């Protein structure tokens, strides 16, 4: 089965954003390392006795959040041709999930850089309210996307065509 160009372009968009998120996860991994060591120490560079802000738990979360979200985008890129949507629907699902990946990854960095900024409730400093809204928006988007996929896959009788080609049963 040859995939059409619009699907390929959407897959590339997912793969590229997934790679950038995993790169961000790698950078956050250095923050995680520096918090564990209690200093900035990367061979062969000089050691800096600087305490990196945040806790070990916050940096671990930031590190894993970005990597996992990047991997989710890569998995979505693989599943894209199987989803029961036309070209526009696939692009919307993809853009939504890309937004969710970035929102969750950026929101988790706030706790690493700023105290009392986990974003669990709408209280405290502005640095807590920003991740709260990022998490809140991301959760709404991911729930809508998952509901759309479930509805189109399990309930709707006639699947959408992908770029003018009907889906196989």
- Per-residue pLDDT reduced to its tens digit, 105-122: 999 999 999 988 999 999
For the ranges 10-19, 76-85, 142-151, 156-165, which has the lowest average pLDDT?
156-165
pLDDT in tens, 123-166: 889 999 999 999 999 999 999 999 999 999 998 755 555 555 55
**Residue 72: is its pLDDT beyond 60?**
yes
Residue from 147, 68, 63, 149 nearest 109 by CA? 63
Domain ranges of the chain: 5-155
Find the radius of gyration of the CA atoms of the chain: 19
For the ranges 30-34, 44-48, 114-118, 164-168, which has the lowest average pLDDT?
164-168
Q: How far is CA 6 from CA 37, 75, 98, 148, in A?
A: 47, 18, 17, 20
Is this model's pTM higher than 0.85 or not?
yes
**Following DSSP, what letter does each residue of 5-27 receive, concatenated?**
HHHHHHHHHHHHHHHHHHHHHHH
What is the structure's pLDDT at 169?
Answer: 38
The CA angle 37-40-44, to the nearest 5 degrees, is 110
């Amino acid at each position: 089965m040859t995939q059409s160009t619009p699907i390929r372009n959407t897959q590339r968009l997912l793969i590229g954003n997934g790679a950038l998120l995993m790169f961000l996860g790698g950078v956050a991994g250095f923050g995680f390392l520096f918090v564990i060591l209690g200093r900035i120490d990367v061979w062969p560079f000089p050691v800096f006795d600087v305490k990196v802000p945040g806790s070990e738990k916050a940096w671990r979360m930031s590190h894993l959040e970005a990597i996992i979200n990047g991997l989710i985008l890569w998995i979505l890129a693989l599943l894209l041709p199987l989803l029961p949507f036309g070209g526009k629907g696939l692009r919307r699902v993809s853009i939504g999930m890309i937004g969710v990946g970035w929102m969750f990854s950026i929101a988790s960095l706030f706790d690493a850089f700023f105290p009392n900024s986990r974003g669990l409730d709408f209280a405290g400093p502005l640095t807590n309210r920003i991740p709260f809204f990022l998490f809140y928006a991301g959760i709404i988007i991911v729930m809508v996307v998952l509901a759309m996929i479930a509805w189109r896959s399990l309930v709707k009788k006639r699947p959408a065509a992908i770029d003018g080609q009907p889906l196989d049963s």
